[in-house]
Amino acid sequence: MRIAKRVEGLPPYLFAELDKRVAAKRAEGADVISLGVGDPDLPTPPHIVEALREAALDPSTHRYPSYYGMPELRRAIADYYDRRFGVTLDPETEVLPLIGSKEGIAHLATAFVDPGDRALVADPGYPVYGIGTILAGGEPVSLPLTAEHRFLPDFDAVDVPPSTKLLWIGYPSNPTAAVAEADTLERTVRFGADHDLLVCHDAAYAEITFDGYVAPSILQIPGAKHVAVEFGSLSKTYNMTGWRIGYVVGNAEAIRMLGVVKTNIDSGIFDAVQRAGIAALTGPQDHVEQMRAIYQKRRDLIVSALAEAGIDLEPPLGSIYVWVPAPAGRTSVDFAAELLDEAAVVVAPGTGYGPHGEGYIRISLSVPDDRLQEAATRLRERLR
């Protein structure tokens, strides 16, 4: 048996690896608190679960779904863009439901990247931007995001190597929790147009924002549809990580080509899950507001525990993460290992998100309040 080089060379998926470490530590009897993966602990709102229950009882949902998603779901996504961002989308050509945004992010490269091609990827950034590129035979090229530039791209300092076809960014950012204003997205669109790149904006955390900050869509930028697509997810907004439902919107040609890839390798989202997705997008939204308040309180808890331990951070305005500098002299992997060994707290090492994640760890706020409180106490004691 000979394994393909592109898979042989692939690092283990960060969270699969963290799961293994948690299991090993728990097997030693430790009371481990995992602030690793961003996986909401809060339940999916009941009206969405009820929509799934009803749909699952309807045998018409048991057959193959439509390849391009139910028209009603595509319409619900387009209506959300209209309501929330004032962006008009053609549900037929500019909206494509995905089996979770991760799936579409990974597969987009198959449609655009030939062996030897390149993609500029946010560094640090969601690991799948680069992994999709590698699986397509291409090479991810780092787009450095540094504290000096508030983890926003400094396009004046970026050299675009030959054969670069894609540019991946995402705000509110996973993992840095940085947010972007319209001017950053405007510069990104201009840069994409100047260099003939498809700009891919990951907006999975667009609804999880704090202190009155409201995240923009890249599609609000004039001309964006010529060069950009935006990925969205129901996972974090509606606590639906396990359901696998997301979407991509924007440039019609890019969406058409991703559709070509997908129709050849998957058969769409279970219709009952699509109907639940429609209920999520069109139903009451009050729980989203409640969830923002919960995450904001958790963010404050972690930020003040870190401040008491001498690590001062500006409270992040979005996402479900806090991006924390490691104490001087510790690598991100060492620091994460130390917190696991000595405090039984799991965090994600920054280098899991790219070389520029060195010197940081990521804390996820997606654990119940009492466990987060306990983790904050352990972190404070450990770091003092």
Considering only 74, 102, 225, 262, the residue that binds ligand MLT (CB under 6 A) is 102
Q: Report residue 58: phi and psi, to 5°.
A: -95, 110
The token pair that represents 230 in the structure block: 């935006």
SS (H, E, C) 180-201: CCHHHHHHHHHHHHHCCCEEEE
In this structure, the chain runs to a length of 384
Question: 249 near 89, Cβ under 8 Å?
Answer: yes
Considering only 33, 38, 280, 354, the residue that binds ligand MLT (CB under 6 A) is 38
CB-wise, 55 or 348, nearer to ligand MLT? Answer: 348
Interacting span for ligand MLT (CB under 6 A) from 33-41, 131-139, 152-160, 252-260: 33-41
Report the C-alpha gap between 290 and 286 in whole angstroms: 7
Interacting span for ligand MLT (CB under 6 A) from 36-44, 148-156, 258-266, 282-290: 36-44
Question: 255 near 236, Cβ under 8 Å?
Answer: no
User: How many positions of this chain bind ligand MLT (CB under 6 A)?
Assistant: 6
CB-wise, 38 or 172, nearer to ligand MLT? Answer: 38
Question: 206 near 217, Cβ under 8 Å?
Answer: yes
Binding residues among 240-279 for ligand MLT as defined by CB under 6 A = none
* Residue of 86, 340, 115, 119 whose CA lies nearest to 214: 86
List Cα–Cα distances, 350 to 144, 331, 357, in angstroms: 13, 9, 4
CB-wise, 187 or 292, nearer to ligand MLT? Answer: 292
Interacting span for ligand MLT (CB under 6 A) from 21-29, 35-43, 255-263, 300-308: 35-43
> Sign of the C-alpha dihedral, residues 169, 171, 173, 174?
negative
CB-wise, 118 or 201, nearer to ligand MLT? Answer: 201
CB-wise, 37 or 49, nearer to ligand MLT? Answer: 37
The CB-of-178 to ligand MLT minimum distance in angstroms stands at 15
The answer to the question of residue 17 lying near ligand MLT (CB under 6 A) is: no
* Residue of 108, 140, 104, 111 whose CA lies nearest to 10: 140
The CB-of-40 to ligand MLT minimum distance in angstroms stands at 9
- Hey, is 27 helix, strand or coil? helix
Q: Report residue 367: phi and psi, to 5°.
A: -130, 155
Interacting span for ligand MLT (CB under 6 A) from 31-39, 46-54, 73-81, 86-94: 31-39
The CB-of-209 to ligand MLT minimum distance in angstroms stands at 17
Question: 228 near 198, Cβ under 8 Å?
Answer: yes
The CB-of-88 to ligand MLT minimum distance in angstroms stands at 28
* Residue of 276, 271, 372 whose CA lies nearest to 321: 372
The CB-of-194 to ligand MLT minimum distance in angstroms stands at 30
The token pair that represents 181 in the structure block: 């204003």
Question: 299 near 315, Cβ under 8 Å?
Answer: yes
The CB-of-39 to ligand MLT minimum distance in angstroms stands at 5
Residue with tokens 């042989």, as numbered in its chain: 8
Interacting span for ligand MLT (CB under 6 A) from 32-40, 64-72, 188-196, 299-307: 32-40
CB-wise, 102 or 201, nearer to ligand MLT? Answer: 102
150 phi-psi bin (left φ>0, alpha ψ -120 to 50, beta other):
left
Binding residues among 158-197 for ligand MLT as defined by CB under 6 A = 174
CB-wise, 191 or 238, nearer to ligand MLT? Answer: 238
The answer to the question of residue 39 lying near ligand MLT (CB under 6 A) is: yes
Residue whose Cβ sits closest to ligand MLT: 38
Q: Residue 335 corresponds to which amino acid?
A: F
Binding residues among 332-351 for ligand MLT as defined by CB under 6 A = none
Question: 152 near 184, Cβ under 8 Å?
Answer: yes
CB-wise, 216 or 246, nearer to ligand MLT? Answer: 246
Interacting span for ligand MLT (CB under 6 A) from 37-45, 48-56, 113-121, 130-138: 37-45
Considering only 6, 25, 37, 313, the residue that binds ligand MLT (CB under 6 A) is 37
Q: By the criterion CB under 6 A, which residues form the site for ligand MLT?
A: 37-39, 102, 174, 364
